[in-house]
Chain A
Amino acid sequence: MTAIIDKVKPSDDRPEGASRLRRLLGQREAQLLLVLVVFTLLVRAGGAKGFLGPTHFPIFLSQVAPDMLVVIPMAMLLIGGMFDLSVTGVANLSVVLVGWTFSRLLGTMDDTLLIILVVAIGLTAGLIVGAINGLAVTRLRMNPLMTTLATWWMAQGAATGVAGGESRHNFVGSFRDIARFQPLRDLGETFPFLQEMRISTLPMPVFYAAIVIFLGWLILTRTRFGWHIFATGSDRQGAALNGVNVNRVTLIGFVATGLAAAMCGIVWASRLTSAPPNTLGGLELRVIAAAVIGGAALTGGEGSVLGAVLGLFFMHMIRSATIQLGLPVYWEFFVLGAVLFTAVAFDAWTKRRADTQ
């Protein structure tokens, strides 16, 4: 953000290295990283010595991972000038559908086949809600806020409806593997350092999240489609006049977000091996806030995958720190709110400063 201002003023007279450092420090991602490091040191100094240490960090990663699946497509949707409130409802619907199907059909077919089936059912729910959101907003030109609020309630209602007041418990079997499976476990036996660093015992969702982060970054910064997302969010009409298929961008964005929310639900169901229809709460605002803290503009056209990742880390770090420092957890939301307020105020300040240049 501030880097932009530096670039506008020709900076030839400044030594190359210094200007590059200033530019780097002007990036939202770098600023946020710095904040995270300082925050970690403060929390450790404050008494939580193990905060993000070798024992805590892998656990922390597996706690962040399900949200991470959603924050990436949500950030891309925001960059494209849209947003989606329905993710919590979709995730819970997926949890319930997966739990319901799995417990009904367990034993009637091969385990692997059953897992593939329930995952497909969960993802289909996400696909359908995402497609409804996307088509409503593009074809029917419905307002995204109200549309996704409505589909949120419908999906949540369907989840509680299907659950019918009872939640499926302990549908264990091989279903745990979706979340628990540790693909690097064997590798850890061969390379002890992987075990020591607890990398080989990272559960699957961390790897799903890593894949989603990589794909998100690749698409957004290295493909035409990614630039079309930015163009659509920056000026929808201008992008369309230049031949960008803005409706396609929006539709794909909503479908991807729906699929990710469903995947998040599947991962939760697998972690808990239980499927209450209120498994996820506040997912929508958590990921939107994380993306915004990471530099995504609600008005579209700005933001990054790395920023969203760091923003989500920050939100989860605040939660962990509150617990580890033994602070009353009731205050967690106060701190989250204060962080969001600061981020938005900072954005407004950099904009104002840029405008008066």
Chain B
Amino acid sequence: MESAQVKAAREDGVGSAPEPLLIARNISKAFGHVQALSNAYIDVRAGEIVALVGDNGAGKSTLIKVLSGAHRHDAGEILVRGQPAAINSPNDSFNLGIATVYQDLALLPSRDVVANLYVGRELTNRGLLDRRKMTEEANRVVRQLRTNLPSVHTPVRFLSGGQRQAVAIARVVHFGAEILLLDEPTAALGVKESHEMLTLIENLKDQNKAIIVVSHNLAHVFRICDRITVLRHGETVGTLIKEDTDSTEVVQMITGADLL
């Protein structure tokens, strides 16, 4: 299946660069009869953005969810900082320094921005919630992201798509995770908001985060990423280095059309 060109690109990618922070190898995952992933591979280094692309149903979100602990994989191996990692729950993943923004954002619509930022890892003081500290921190984070939220006490269901996306991203950034998994972070956004989101992701790269971004928008992919991993029918068909390729080739790999 794999052309020599693709193989070469994958090996080049590893080359002399530092060890990847995260490697997922031979990952497979079935939902009943649906084989969502079979032999998927992806890796990412610190200060690098890897785009994960593929058709609808290719298994991108499933791979993200395996890495975030939302799904358990049937087979395969995950290495974090070179060590084999057992990721059996969202907390396991989080404790390994992996933070995820899901495709559907996984926000709590009736809860305010503060509660959404801290869900699952609320701050306490002598056993009771430290609501003042959480509010202060939330205000700080929101200001940092330069998003114009009305108030951190606004329930999320009253926010626009872009504002929700910002809350989801803030949640990831705030806890200082080193590895960020972003599933279609620009899908719900307009042109201006998309642009801001991409800039934000580039900023995170400059902060030496290892970032995997799922996207269908190849213009966005080519603007921000360093490498592109292509998934087809649950299998990684290859990883291309941005400089060595163009969108035509990526589209061909996504659809499985013959390479020249």
Q: Which residues of A contact B (CB under 8 A)?
A: 4-5, 7-10, 221-224, 226-228, 230-231, 233-235, 237-244, 297, 300-302, 354, 357
Contacts and interface: CB of A to CB of B under 8 A. Distances in A.
B153 to A, nearest CB: 6
B158 A239 contact: no
Contacts of A243: 89-91, 94, 120-121
A241 B102 contact: yes
B119 A239 contact: yes
Given A7-B150, A222-B128, A227-B129, A297 B110 contact: yes
A223 B115 contact: no
A239 B106 CA distance: 7
A213 to B, nearest CB: 18
| 4 shortest interchain CB distances as A-B pairs | A301-B110, A243-B120, A234-B108, A238-B106
A181 B236 CA distance: 73
Given A224-B122, A243-B89, 16 more contacts: A7-B150, A8-B151, A8-B154, A10-B151, A224-B124, A230-B111, A234-B108, A235-B107, A235-B108, A239-B120, A241-B100, A242-B119, A243-B120, A297-B110, A301-B110, A301-B111
Nearest to B105: A238
Contacts of A354: 158
Given A223-B128, A231-B115, A241 B108 contact: no
Contact of B158 (A8, A228, A240, A301): A8
Contact of B110 (A8, A234, A244): A234
A280 B100 CA distance: 49
B32 interface: no
Chain A binding surface, main DSSP class: helix
Contacts of A235: 106-109
Contacts of B108: 230-231, 234-235, 238-239, 301
B119 A231 contact: yes
Contact of A223 (B102, B104, B129): B129
Nearest to A3: B153
A10 B100 CA distance: 30
B155 interface: yes
Contacts of A7: 150-151, 153-154
Contacts of B110: 230, 233-234, 297, 300-302
A227 B112 CA distance: 11
A235 to B, nearest CB: 5
Contacts of B100: 241
A4 B106 contact: no
A357 B106 CA distance: 24
B171 to A, nearest CB: 8
B90 A242 contact: yes
9 contacts: A8-B154, A230-B111, A231-B111, A231-B119, A238-B106, A241-B100, A242-B120, A242-B121, A301-B110
Nearest to A79: B110
B15 interface: no
B18 interface: no
Given A242-B106, A243-B121, A234 B111 contact: yes
B68 interface: yes
Nearest to A303: B110
A222 B150 CA distance: 24
A297 B106 CA distance: 20
Given A230-B111, A234-B108, A235-B107, A240 B124 contact: no
A227 B115 contact: yes
B150 A234 contact: no
A237 B106 contact: yes
Given A230-B115, A235-B106, A4 B120 contact: no
B155 A227 contact: no
Contacts of B119: 227, 231, 238-239, 242, 244
Contacts of B102: 241
Interface in B176-202: none
B111 A241 contact: no
Q: Which of A7, A241, A244, A301 has the most CB of B within 10 A?
A: A241
Interface string B31-73: 0000000000000000000000000000000000000101000
Contacts of A242: 90, 106, 119-121
Contacts of A221: 129
Interface string B113-127: 001001111101001
A119 B46 CA distance: 61
A4 B109 contact: no
Nearest to A354: B158
A253 B147 CA distance: 37
Contact of B109 (A226, A228, A240, A301): A301
Contacts of B128: 222-223
Contacts of B122: 224, 227
Contacts of A9: 150
Nearest to A235: B108
A141 B121 CA distance: 26
A241 B106 contact: yes
Contacts of A231: 108, 111, 115, 119-120
B1 to A, nearest CB: 33
A307 B155 CA distance: 19
B158 A4 contact: yes
Interface in B69-112: 70, 89-91, 94, 100, 102, 104-111
A169 B122 CA distance: 51
